[in-house]
Amino acid sequence: MLLLLSIPTFKFVGFLHAVLQAWAPSNIFIRRVKAAPPRWRTTGGLVALSVALLFAVRALELAIAAGAPTWLWFPTGILAWDAIKIATLALACAGHRLRATGSTLKGTNKCSTACRSCGAASDV
């Protein structure tokens, strides 16, 4: 009986996960960055955005410690998670850029077409 009650819950959670993957602002931003050819300025911008998010997390933590409402832990967690996702994206973008730079200098094409790194060789 409990299993029959949990099936709609699993379906709802799956639906909610799909909606967030499609429409959450950070996921839309990440898909857009992944679709563009990697550039060094993109990597720098991602690092700066990740650091700014970490500063926002710290400011919220200090505000909560000083007596702000405890519901602010929810946006703090979201900002921290987004900072981690964007920092990981910055590392991936830098790795793709380094691989594209290396393959361009050697005259070979080691990048797959999925990473779209080889077309951005002019931004070294």
Domain regions of the chain by residue span: 37-124
Give the three-class secondary structure for 113: coil
Confidence at residue 100, expressed as pLDDT on a 0 to 100 scale: 83
pLDDT tens sequence across 22-65:
999 999 999 999 999 989 999 999 999 999 999 999 999 999 99
Angstrom distances, CA of residue 17 to CA of 13, 77, 91, 101 = 6, 17, 25, 37
- Summarize pLDDT for 60-97 with one digit per residue, the tens: 999 999 999 999 999 999 999 999 999 999 999 999 99
Specify the pTM: 0.76
